Amino acid sequence: MILCCGESLIDMVPESGAYRPLAGGSVFNTALALGRLGAQTGYLWPISQDAFGPVLRAPLEEAGVDLSLAPSSPRLTTLALVLLKNGNATYSFYDEGTAGRMFSVSDLPALPDTLDALFIGGISLIQDPCASTVEELAQRAAKAGKVISLDLNIRPGFISDEAGTRARYNRLLGIADIVKISDEDAEWLFPDADPAATAVGLLDLGPKLILRTHGSDGATAIHASGQYSHPARKVTVADTIGAGDTFNAGLLASLAETGALSKAGLDAITEDQLRAALDLAAAAAAVTVSRPGANPPWRREL
């Protein structure tokens, strides 16, 4: 099982002069996309008992995502106000005292026996107490020999403690096996370094596979055996909400299908396995950007 631990929220997406509430959150989107692609997936994050709780649960359940580890919370759901400019999304978050923000170490369950990989990332790595809780889970999973997949997906406007956040990212980079990083992430994390050099240099910190994303120009997989680039598919873009999250899901689903989603499997990964993973990731992300909101494809759509 691939367990996704990180934020779920409601994206308030502009539509016809008003706002339409849509289920979202970076890690939520990845879990949803994994389920729709047919991967055995679990989701761990508090889901509110408010009116938005069922809005978050329903699509995950429909996609076959296991919610047995997700606690029910009386606190409110996080909201994200979305601003679209030329199809690109920026966000304002309303997160104080919410169900996800207050996720604590005491809420963590035991690691499931079926766990193969843990996926983390997004704003859930920025604000405490939830950020410390996700880090603790990642440390436990790493000690148990599980694959850790980290999507940096840094949101500078959401960060109040830059030194503390950089320190957390650096600790997580030391235990992660798969890391997705954009040039914007690299420039924030290592401001005095070239983004391309930063991505390659992450291999020296311990990760086995780096995914450097280039937006509409595609992505590059960086491994000890070499670098493998893959172009993005050309589609008419509705918006970019959930594009990177879906890319994560396509990559992880393919690695699981080809037997590469383990520490030994990542060490010995072949070019064919990497290219297959990049191809599924790009195909899935292309569908997501072609329609409004974070609406990843079902496997039958690819």
Q: What does the domain layout of the chain look like in residue ranges?
A: 2-294
- In whole angstroms, how large is the CA radius of gyration of the chain? 18
Determine the 3-state secondary structure of 152 from DSSP.
coil
The two three-digit tokens of residue 61, written as one number: 């359940």
Cβ contact 123:26 at 8 Å: yes
Determine the 3-state secondary structure of 52 from DSSP.
coil
**pLDDT number for residue 198:** 92
> Is 3.40.1190.20 the CATH number for 2-294?
yes
Structure letter (DSSP) for residue 66:
B
Cα-Cα-Cα-Cα dihedral sign, residues 294, 295, 296, 302:
negative
Q: Any residues with CB less than 8 A from the CB of 230 and at least 6 apart, and which?
A: 218, 219, 220, 221, 275, 278, 279, 281, 282
**pLDDT number for residue 87:** 65
Report the alpha-carbon distance of residue 212 to residue 70 in Å, rounded. 31
Report the alpha-carbon distance of residue 41 to residue 165 in Å, rounded. 28
Q: Strands 209-213, 178-182: parallel, antiparallel or unpaired by DSSP?
A: parallel
Per residue of the chain (302 residues), give pLDDT as tens.
999 999 999 988 888 888 888 899 999 999 999 999 999 999 999 999 999 999 999 999 999 999 999 999 999 999 988 887 776 777 788 999 999 999 999 999 999 999 999 999 999 999 999 999 999 999 999 999 999 999 999 988 889 999 999 999 999 999 999 999 999 999 999 888 898 899 999 999 999 999 998 877 889 999 999 999 888 888 888 878 889 999 999 999 999 999 999 999 999 999 999 999 999 999 999 999 998 878 999 999 99
Strand partners, 27: none
The two three-digit tokens of residue 47, written as one number: 């889901």
